Amino acid sequence: MGAQTPVTPEKPEQGILPPRVREELNVLREKAKEDLEALKKPEKTQLFKSMFRVKHDESERSRALSVLTNVFFHLHPAKVNRDAVRYSYTWGMGGISFYLFIVLTFTGILLMFYYHPTKGQAYRDIIYLMSDVPFGKLLRNMHRWAAHLMVITVWLHMFRVFLTGSYKKPREFNWCVGVLLLVFTLLLSFTGYLLPDDQLGFWAVTVGTNMARATPLLGAEGPLGPQVGVTPYNDVHFALLGGSIVDSNALLRAYIWHCIAIPVILSILLAVHFWRVRKDGGISGPAPVQLESEMKPERKF
Ligand code: HEM
């Protein structure tokens, strides 16, 4: 009988596995240990730091830092990376999306003066606005075009953030806030569709909300829906429309979501988004470029 490698009970794989696999296992074990330690002190984790303000250390410099890095004490950042604010880097799409949101809010408030969210009256209000109200056509079209453009610019902004890798550490949390911003921008656009109460809006919302019937657990025709007691009279489709078909209740619900709830949610998310851009050290930016004029002349001996 030849000598056999002793197998310890804690690490039974030691005698069997090739050295490379054993090394990888050790790395994984170390990583798991670190993760466990992090769970004991969640405020030290990267996830926590990407969401909340980080306390500075107790040095003299930290007192200045806590003022300079605070958005409320010091609205503008103390330093800006020149290359990070170039349009060729940001495409300006975040800023343009925000500008369009302001235009939409302003024109939307003006539109509310001429609109009643009731069946029949809503469509007549739009006809009146387009034909009789001074600058009514311009007002409505400014709102419509700004809405279409905002959907496009938010997508482009997200695409730029992805291309420049700005979703990575320390900006993970802001990326998630951004995803919510995208969802609510699309919902804002969708709920506005029904408001003119024309054929286009009616069928768009009929098709759109019909999809909700197939939602898992929440839709009467979705997976597991009927099993948990969801019927066509208490499912998410019914809740969205306030009934079984697109009618006066649906119009009122779309109006309230469109004019109050979603704009308020978007405004709160935008405030968090901008605050996080600042707290994450400003716009990510490419590696700084040194201009020729800034280069030190070569020393000649
Ligand atoms: C209503 C929609 C949105 C508005 C108004 C908005 C606005 C902005 C602005 C003004 C900036 C500063 C830099 C820049 O302009 O590029 C920014 C940065 C950022 N946004 Fe948005 N954003 C929106 C949606 C989104 C979406 C959909 C995502 C991604 C899912 C996102 C993720 C980010 C990230 C990660 C940054 C930091 C980028 C960096 O540091 O380079 N945002 N946003």
Each residue of 119-133: pLDDT tens digit?
999 999 999 999 999
Residue 222: CB atoms within 10 A of its CB come to 19
- pLDDT value of position 135: 97
- 77 CA to centre of ligand 1 in angstroms: 17
> Tens digits of per-residue pLDDT, 183-227?
999 999 999 999 999 999 999 999 999 999 999 999 999 999 999
Shortest-distance atom of ligand 1 to CA 95: 10
Question: CB within 8 A of 195, min separation 6: which ones?
Answer: 115, 117, 122, 201, 251, 254, 255, 258
What pLDDT, on the 0 to 100 scale, is given for residue 1?
41
For the Cβ of 259 lying below 6 angstroms from any atom of ligand 1, the answer is no
The whole-angstrom separation of Cα 109 and Cα 34 is 53
The yes-or-no verdict on residue 175 having pLDDT over 60 is: yes
How many CA atoms does the CB half-sphere of 180 hold within 13 Å?
16
Separation of alpha carbons 150 and 180, rounded Å: 15
Q: Which atom of ligand 1 is nearest to the CA of 282?
A: 40
Residue 3 clears pLDDT 80, i.e. is over it: no
Average pLDDT over residues 39-63: 76
Query: Which residue, 259, 283, 79, 34, is CA-closest to 170?
Result: 283
CB of 182 shorter than 6 A to ligand 1: yes
Domains and CATH numbers, the chain: 88-279 (1.20.810.10)
Q: Scanning the structure block, which residue is given the tokens 């496009």?
A: 152
215 C-alpha to center of ligand 1: Å?
Answer: 29
Whether ligand 1 lies within 6 angstroms of the CB of 97 is answered as: yes
Q: Which candidate, 95, 47, 99, places its Cα nearest to that of 277?
A: 95
Residue 214, CB-side half-sphere exposure with 13 Å CA sphere: 4
Residue with tokens 């330093």: 79
Confirm if 191 and 258 have CB atoms less than 8 A apart: yes
Residue 171, ligand 1, Cβ within 6 A: yes
**Tokens (6 digits) for 298:** 């070569």
Q: Is the pLDDT of residue 38 over 90?
A: no
d(Cα 138, Cα 140) in Å, to the nearest integer?
6
CA distances to 117, 209, 249, 251, 259 from 205, rounded to whole Å, are 16, 6, 13, 10, 17
pLDDT-derived band at 289, boundaries 50, 70, 90: low
If you measure from the C-alpha of residue 159 to the centroid of ligand 1, how many angstroms do you get, rounded to a whole number?
10
With a 6 A CB cut-off, is 153 part of the ligand 1 pocket? no
Label residue 136 by pLDDT band (50, 70, 90): very high
Query: Which pLDDT tens digit goes with each residue over 84-113?
Result: 889 999 999 999 999 999 999 999 999 999
pLDDT band at 74 (very low <50, low <70, confident <90, very high): confident
The pLDDT of residue 11 is 58
Q: For residues 32-54, give the mean pLDDT.
A: 80
Question: Is the bond preceding 170 in cis, omega lying within 30 degrees of 0?
Answer: yes
- Residue 77 preceded by cis peptide, ω within 30: no
- Res. 57: pLDDT tops 80: no
